[in-house]
A and B are shown apart, each in its own frame.
Chain A
Amino acid sequence: MQRHLISAADLTRDDAVLILDTAEEMARVADRPIKKLPTLRGRTVVNLFFEDSTRTRISFEAAEKRLSADVINFTAKGSSVSKGESLKDTAQTLEAMGVDAVVIRHGASGAPYRLANSGWIDSAVINAGDGTHQHPTQALLDAFTLRRRLLGREAALGRDLAGRRVTVVGDILHSRVARSNVDLLHTLGAEVVLVAPPTLVPVGVESWPCEVSYDLDSTLAKSDAVMMLRVQRERMNAAFFPTEREYSRRYGLDGERMARMPEHAVVMHPGPMVRGMEITAEVADSPRCTAIEQVTAGVSVRMAVLYLLLGGNEPALSRQPSAERTASTAHAAEEK
């Protein structure tokens, strides 16, 4: 049985649909006067955040608390990490305290994989974003939002995204969200087109299960969803495009471009949005933009993942070994 959630590529189609269906039921808890379930009572979950995050950390914390888990928050700032403690020692400290699950965000790609497979700890590991590698719960909440919008809340149960076309636009190179989405959307049967300037397309993209285009306008009319990504300046150490103005003119989504999308198509954004750069305020505030729904979906999807991994005596997700892509990046974390 798969005990961890490291990569969206580890999920089978049935696992993914099970998570999305479970999340639909979890979403109903949010409508109740008492938004709490006793399911993870007595289990301890640590949120181990080595990298800044607001929405993911708060979302995980809300999900854990709604399932009655005991939550310990750990941020690298002000911890022993700033004194030079290694990931291994931090992990073993947590293990000694009797932790059932670790939700980890780390700047190094492969850190969660290392944590899960090194034998340092026995607890379940959930990847909350590692470097430019993976962010599986983000891909799950995107798929959840998309499935609900395209198929309807009731009709969506038990179904995948077969035959739908999703266009992912922007900084693919630095985006773990794009990688996770390509993996998961492909597993769910959707076709993915990546659109970016050539400098922001990663090496080796031809082995990914998707198409690549450099022209946004030609893909819009065929898309069921357009997912805009933020340009990650904090990860850039070189000039990837001449000016912001040129980037936003060629790859930004404005009202005029949105009008050329099919009527049912939605605009998605994982946040944080940079208005005026990849998306205009007009688009961001339009009812076709699902950014806020994605945040709400995040709590339900994370509740579903926590329940399916920790709710029973063994996880409910099937076993499928991590892709080699994961294994090769694991060394990066080790050296760090």
Chain B
Amino acid sequence: MDSHANPPATDARPVLEGPDIARVLTRIAHEVVERARGADDVVLLGIPTRGVFLAQRLAAKLEQITDRKIPVGSLDITMYRDDLRLQPPRALARTEIPGDGIDGRLVVLVDDVLFSGRTIRAALDALNDIGRPRAVQLAVLVDRGHRELPIRADYVGKNLPTSLRETVKVLLAEEDGRDTVLLGAKPADQ
């Protein structure tokens, strides 16, 4: 999430391409089924914007594996952010909880990039107001390190060691027209 604030650097180089992203999601889907012993009670909640598309793709893969309908939704964390007071109010995104709710279920949060961990903390707060899941897990496409909170991902697409001077930008076909993960340098003025 935190990567969205940065404009994509011009000299960014791809670290994951379209086929890699598809493979990574297939692997995560299998891991979810394995760890959740069949994924009977799994609910996928994507964090807008790109986490939602990843959650939908992951749900499609889970449905292929388990041959069952997997509930998928979105969880907007804007109003739970800890940096609300540091910038102008942001436009809200959609929170869409699947019909049966999240009570007693295994919620898997899905996001594109895990960075400081603050987005996930906000997501946990938001979940708290919506229901009481049996357990909450986290799936991310890229873990770029630099955690500021004691938060870790359960399913990681790619561990990408970065420096704070670098930016990680996930592009997805649904939003950006193509699938790729770009690693670039932060513009000097930031």
Whether A38 contacts B125 by the Cβ 8 Å rule is yes
Q: Is B5 an interface residue (CB 8 A)?
A: no
Whether B95 contacts A25 by the Cβ 8 Å rule is yes
Q: Is A276 an interface residue (CB 8 A)?
A: no
Q: Interface residue tally of chain B, by bracket?
A: 10 to 19
Within residues 1 to 57 of chain A, which ones have a CB less than 8 A from any CB in chain B? 1, 18, 21-22, 25-26, 28, 32-34, 36-39
Q: Which of A71-79, A141-149, A241-249, A304-312 contacts B (4 or more CB under 8 A)?
A: A304-312
CB contact between A32 and one of B85, B88, B129 (< 8 Å): that residue: B129
Whether A312 contacts B84 by the Cβ 8 Å rule is yes
Nearest residue (CB) in B for A314 is: B88
Supposing A32-B130, A34-B130 touch, asked if A22 and B92 sit within 8 A by C-beta, the answer is: yes
Whether A34 contacts B129 by the Cβ 8 Å rule is yes
Whether B79 contacts A38 by the Cβ 8 Å rule is yes
Whether A315 contacts B91 by the Cβ 8 Å rule is no
Residues of B within 8 A of A37 (CB): 79-80, 129
Nearest residue (CB) in B for A25 is: B92
Residues of B within 8 A of A218 (CB): none
Whether B129 contacts A312 by the Cβ 8 Å rule is no
CA distance A37 to B130 in the complex (A): 11
Residues of A within 8 A of B91 (CB): 18, 21-22
Supposing A34-B130, A36-B129, A38-B125 touch, asked if A308 and B76 sit within 8 A by C-beta, the answer is: no
Nearest residue (CB) in A for B80 is: A38
CA distance A313 to B130 in the complex (A): 27
CB proximity of B35 to chain A, nearest CB, Å: 28
Partner-B contacts on A (CB < 8 A): 1, 18, 21-22, 25-26, 28, 32-34, 36-39, 307-308, 311-316
Partner-A contacts on B (CB < 8 A): 76, 79-80, 84-95, 125, 129-131
> What are 28 A-B contacts defined by CB distance under 8 Å?
A1-B88, A18-B91, A21-B92, A22-B92, A25-B76, A25-B92, A25-B93, A25-B94, A25-B95, A26-B92, A28-B95, A32-B129, A32-B130, A33-B131, A37-B79, A39-B79, A39-B80, A307-B79, A311-B79, A312-B85, A312-B86, A312-B89, A313-B87, A313-B88, A315-B89, A316-B88, A316-B89, A316-B90
